[in-house]
Amino acid sequence: MSYNLLKGKKGIVFGALDEKSIAWRTALRCHEEGAQLVLTNAPVAMRMGEINKLAETTKAPVIPADVTNMDDLKKLFEEAMKHFGGGIDFILHSVAMGMNVRKGKHYTEIDYNWNQKTLDISSMSLHRVLRTAWDMDALNEHASVVGLTYIAAQRVFPDYNEMADAKALLEAVARNFGYHYGIRKKVRINTVSQSPVKTTAGSGVKGFDGFLTYAEKMSPLGNASADDCANYCVTLFSDLTKMVTMQNLFHDGGFSFTGVTQAVIDQMEK
């Protein structure tokens, strides 16, 4: 069902890899709500070609950009503004990569070169995106930027590994850049702390299935799906939330504020 919440708005969506991606689901919902889109992903991810299906459905051009490359980002914003014939109203940052996680390194023995890459791709990339937009004055007044994060930034989830630190940094960048961009142009910047979802990035976490079931049992509403997340992002891109900024917003069916549930107690008593 469409409410036309994003009618006339123009946005860039980072990170749609395949149809399970949160960015993919969000792009579809934004399109349904009347937004015009530009899609982007790392050149290497685009070689899989999946994104072209999404581009067709959403009638959006695809512009490759590695989020750690400032030249790529500049070109992306230039081309997006040319395509839109003006400034940008919203951005979804849905990008992450845990190099040590991928290589199976335990948190206590991470490789620091890989870790730097992890932090650059997963966290400082939000700064790079915002800095590019800032330098080019690419965002319209009241534009909305959303990054996706996980509660491992606040609480220990051992197998989340270095990504826990990466998410804490991502949330800090959203808060700190949110201050400056708010003052300069009323741009709002928030992170959405999402329930676990079985995507390519999500499944990289060790013991992910157990993790998913635990979160489901620990959330009064159950886990929020990628489509639920897409709906929430739509509200954040809309004018209905124009005074919300610098927040880390939990979108997790109540998980973050639940100490224990009856379902978990029952499980422990078995």
Instruction: Verify binding: residue 201, ligand NAI, rule CB under 6 A.
Output: yes
Q: Is 160 a catalytic residue?
A: yes
CA dist., res. 109 & res. 223, Å (int): 31
CA dist., res. 159 & res. 152, Å (int): 10
Residue of 5, 6, 17, 80 that binds ligand NAI (CB under 6 A): 17
Print the binding letters for residues 143-182 with ligand NAI: x by CB under 6 A, - otherwise: -----xxx--------------------------------
Comparing CA positions, the residue from 191, 248, 196 lying closest to residue 218 is 196
Residue 259 CB, shortest distance to ligand NAI, in Å, is 21
Residue 224 CB, shortest distance to ligand NAI, in Å, is 9
Which of 62, 244 has the CB closer to ligand NAI?
62
Q: Two tokens at 108?
A: 């206590």
Instruction: Verify binding: residue 202, ligand NAI, rule CB under 6 A.
Output: yes
CA dist., res. 222 & res. 94, Å (int): 22
Instruction: Verify binding: residue 98, ligand NAI, rule CB under 6 A.
Output: no
* Residue span binding ligand NAI (CB under 6 A) among the ranges 2-10, 138-146, 199-207, 239-247: 199-207
> Of these residues, 150, 179, 181, 232, which one is catalytic?
150
> Of these residues, 3, 107, 112, 160, which one is catalytic?
160
> Residue 86: which region, alpha, beta or left (left: phi > 0; alpha: psi -120 to 50)?
left
- The H-assigned helical ranges of the chain are 22-32, 43-46, 51-58, 70-84, 99-102, 112-119, 125-136, 162-185, 200-203, 208-217, 226-237, 262-269
Residue 73 CB, shortest distance to ligand NAI, in Å, is 10
Q: Are 142 and 188 in contact (CB under 8 A)?
A: yes
Comparing CA positions, the residue from 218, 230, 229 lying closest to residue 256 is 218
Please check if 95 is assigned to a binding site: yes
Q: Are 46 and 16 in contact (CB under 8 A)?
A: no
Q: Are 222 and 253 in contact (CB under 8 A)?
A: yes
* Residue span binding ligand NAI (CB under 6 A) among the ranges 3-11, 19-27, 84-92, 126-134: 19-27
Instruction: Verify binding: residue 87, ligand NAI, rule CB under 6 A.
Output: no
Give the other-Cβ count within 10 Å of 228's Cβ.
20
Q: Is 179 a catalytic residue?
A: no
Instruction: Verify binding: residue 200, ligand NAI, rule CB under 6 A.
Output: yes
Cite the active site residues: 150, 160
Write out the binding residues for NAD(+).
Answer: 15, 21-22, 66-67, 95, 167, 197-201
Contact residues: ligand NAI, CB under 6 A: 15, 17, 21-23, 41-42, 45, 66-68, 94-97, 121, 148-150, 194, 196-197, 199-202
